[in-house]
A = this chain, B = another copy of it.
Amino acid sequence: MPKTKADFPVDKVRRYLEPGPIVLVSSAWRGEKNIMTMGWHTVMEFTPSLVGCVIAGSNHSFDLIRRSKECVINLPTTALTDTVVGIGNCSGADTDKFEKFGLTALPAQKVKAPLIAQCHANFECRLEDARLVERYNFFIFEVVKAHVARRPVHPQTLHYTGDGVFMVSGKILSRRNRFKPEML
């Protein structure tokens, strides 16, 4: 089911990305759109809100993203497990993945790449730095707009270990009272 979302501060997207979930990256270029799964990403800065990620040249999305200089990082939950696996095991070169997997493409606010309505969160991204793309397929994006579903507060996310095996996010543990205020 598509999820209703609220605006979320872009400098706080680490809340969802730092724990290391598999994400779905949507992109668009000249009337074509696509989705890929991505597990190799890291938060790089709060302000501007930077995320670095590896998008291999063998992905059909590579050219769409490199040319449009935009993408959306979408956060799927376990409700989409088989969709995540399916998206990673077919190619946008011969498949309309939105159609094949029954996903809804919603217009984004600041980029042309579409939001995936069924995901828990959508982070609109603009390419900030491409200097490591040629050597490492490493793209640095700025998150320019974030949308997050209000519930659940702690969505069940998928964390890939390789070999077709995922770890599912588990219990929440607060140690807030042991942190220095400036470290929070």
Residues of A within 8 A of B (CB): 12, 14-16, 18-21, 39-45, 50, 52-54, 78, 81-82, 85-86, 88-89, 129, 131-132, 135-136, 138, 140, 154, 156, 158-180, 183-184
**Closest approach, in angstroms, between the C-beta of A51 and any C-beta of chain B?**
10
Copies of this chain, whole number = 2
For A175, the chain B residues whose CB sits under 8 A away are 81-82, 85, 164-166
- Extra A-B contacts (6), CB below 8 Å, given A132-B132, A168-B170, A168-B171: A18-B159, A45-B136, A163-B176, A164-B174, A167-B169, A168-B173
Nearest chain-B residue to A183 (Cβ)? B89
Residues of B within 8 A of A140 (CB): 136
Cβ of B178 and Cβ of A173 under 8 Å apart?
A: no
